[in-house]
Each structure stands twice: as C-alpha cells, then as structure tokens.
Amino acid sequence: PILEGSAQDPARSWQMAAIALCKLAVSVSGACNFESCADFCTTICPFRPNISSSGTEAMAVYRMTPWNVTDLTDHNTGDAAGDMGFLLDTYLHDSKCSPPFITDKCFLEDRTLMGRFPVLFDSSYGPFLKCNPTHLADPESPTGFSPFLNMSEWLCAWGFPPPKNPWTPRKSWQTDCIPYDTNHTCPRLNISVGKDPAEHEFYRKKDVLSTHFGGYWYTAPRRGRCGAGQTPGDGSGCTWLVTAPPTFINASCLVGRLFDVIESHNPTCFRNCSAGANRTDPCFRGCVTATVVASGNSSGMPLAPMVAAWEEAFDPATGCPLVPVSTPTDYPPRPLSPPLRKGHP
C-alpha cells in the first residue's frame, strides 16, 4: 500500500518536484525577504530568514499532550523556553472542564503528559501552522459537527485572524501572499517544518507570562516526515525526523518543579499567601505572574534556572517518574464518545 506522505504518494511526489524546480529561482530572486510568501513558495527561501538557517538543526522539542497522543505527526511542539510559558499559563487558568475532556480547550486536561522528542529539522523553516484535533460529525447539528473531538485525527492550518495570520498582508510588500492563500498553490506550506516565536508574538512589546521566556514553537507536518532510510538534507525532500525514542512525564510534575523555582526566587510574595496555597489560589497566581514578568525596576524571572529545572525533570535518575506509553505507531486510539444528539446537554 502507498502511505500518505511517503515518497510514493502522488501528491507528495508532485510537491517534491515543484520544490526542486523552485530551487532554480533562488539565483534570480536574490536575498530572501522577511515574511515573503512569494520567496517562500517559489524558491527555497525560508519564510523568516532571520530565524532560519541553511542545513539542518538537531535539538530536543517538547509537547504538552493528551495521554494517548504520543507522536509528532501533524502536531505542534516547542523548545524548552517556548513551551514553558504555555505550560505555566495553562496551569494557572481556572478549569471548567469535565469528562470526557474531548472538547475544545479541554483535551489537554485528561492525564496530561509532557513529552521530550530528540529531532533533526530541516532549518529552512516555513510558517507555523496551528494543529488541533478535528470534530466528530453530527448530522443533526446545525454545523454538521459535534462539540466532541476526534483525538485520532488532527488538522494543521494557519487559522489565525489578522494580523497574526502571516498570509494576510500587514504591509504593502506582503500583498504577494494573497494568490497563494486564495489558490492554495504553495506546496512547501505542508512540507516545511513551521517555526514561530512562542505564542506567535513576533512583534511583542509587552512582557506577559506566556511569552516572557521567549523560545519558539514548531509544526511537524505529515508530508514532511522522513520515511525509512531518509533524513533531512539528504535530497529526499523530507524535513523532520525523530532521532531517538521520546520520553514522557506527567505535566503536573514538571509544572510543580517550575513553581518551586519561581517561589524560591520571590519567597516574600508567596509567604503572604495562605498556607497551602496552590495554582487555584488567586494569591499564588498573582505571585507567579509578578515574579516571572518584568515590572518596574524588575527584569523578571531569569531563564537559566527555569531551563535547568525543566531539563532535570526529564533526568531518569533525579527527575519526574517516566510515564510508559505505547509506541507512536501502535498506541490504541482512545474510545470516542458518540456524537451529541438533540436533547443532550
């Protein structure tokens, strides 16, 4: 059988051929332009030359993930700094979720894991695509879809409203994006590894918890996945490869260690909270934010001790207990609840 995204997949073969032809245009186009859709779609220029490079990049990326989603295909990840703000911000929000936890904004609250993936990326990065599970069908719903999610089927898209959508022109020289967005004629979009500053705050001017530590987010598209015997940069056209088995820990253990570091950095504030205050307590939340985010004469929480605590959490000897998971290719799909019917809450 021909696997989708494999070298034999006709759709991918066409895309690979198109990219090969586009390489000829590089010498004509000259220097790559920042956030130029034309340069990205018709040459081998990265989408953002200032955060890309030629060749490949080996690193560890991390993913806060539901317990039964343990691979990278069509999923988002971040480096330690990039995922740190997302993890802290997620754990400080009030939860209004309940079983079965497979609705929008709730699928990360059921036995949530944090995975560490050693990867090799083609570092000529493309736009970051947002990946989320699709909705189950419901013929009786006005929209045709249930609020419940299909956790075994994910879709990546650039679904950000202006001005965060890079394909919506923000400046006069970005009007070249319109035909590629309208006609879907950019083969590289679903092959290149996407890269964006955490929370897409490329033009960030205000220091907030979710972006204070900087870092980057990544997209690993299905059509860019390396097959057997392939590696980024070998001429096969694949763009990403997991180079060693991933490891998983409970996200609650990791965030607890980060809270400990934050509390030690500003003990006076936390002592003013009631005994046993945790992430559900407004005083505790306020101290976390006040300690991390720059304000007044404070430069905010430094990155180094947070990254040290993050990496130590994955140490087999001194870190959080490793959580065994099935391999990404054979993990059992989670039982899906039936679509909602009329009269159900």
- Asked if 156 and 225 touch (Cβ cutoff 8 Å), the reply is no
Q: What pLDDT, on a 0 to 100 scale, did the predictor assign at position 313?
A: 97
d(CA 140, CA 171): 43
Phi, psi of 220, rounded to the nearest 5 degrees: -110, 90
pLDDT tens, residue by residue, 273-291 = 888 777 778 898 889 988 9
Q: Are strands 240-242 and 113-122 parallel, antiparallel or unpaired?
A: antiparallel
d(CA 117, CA 23): 30
The model's pTM:
0.79
- Joined tokens for residue 236: 């096969």
- Asked if 236 and 15 touch (Cβ cutoff 8 Å), the reply is no
Give the count of alpha carbons within 13 A of 275, CB side only: 0
d(CA 150, CA 50): 37
**Adjacent-strand bridge partners of 156:** 131
Widest pairwise Cα distance in the chain: 67
Question: Per-residue b/e over 126-155, b at no fewer than 16 CB within 10 Å?
Answer: bbbbbbbbebbebeebeeebbbbbbbeebe
d(CA 196, CA 32): 17
Q: What pLDDT, on a 0 to 100 scale, did the predictor assign at position 193?
A: 95
Phi, psi of 138, rounded to the nearest 5 degrees: -145, 100
The ranges of the chain with pLDDT < 70 are 1-30, 94-105, 107-110, 158-184, 200-206, 296-298, 326-345
Omega into 267 within 30° of 0, i.e. cis?
no
Q: What pLDDT, on a 0 to 100 scale, did the predictor assign at position 25?
A: 43
User: Which residues neighbour 248 within 8 Å (Cβ) at sequence distance 6 or greater?
Assistant: 70, 113, 114, 115, 116, 322, 323, 324, 325
Q: What pLDDT, on a 0 to 100 scale, did the predictor assign at position 200?
A: 65
Question: Per-residue b/e over 34-63, b at no fewer than 16 CB within 10 Å?
Answer: ebbbbbbbbbbbbbbbeebeeebbebbbbb
d(CA 236, CA 244): 20
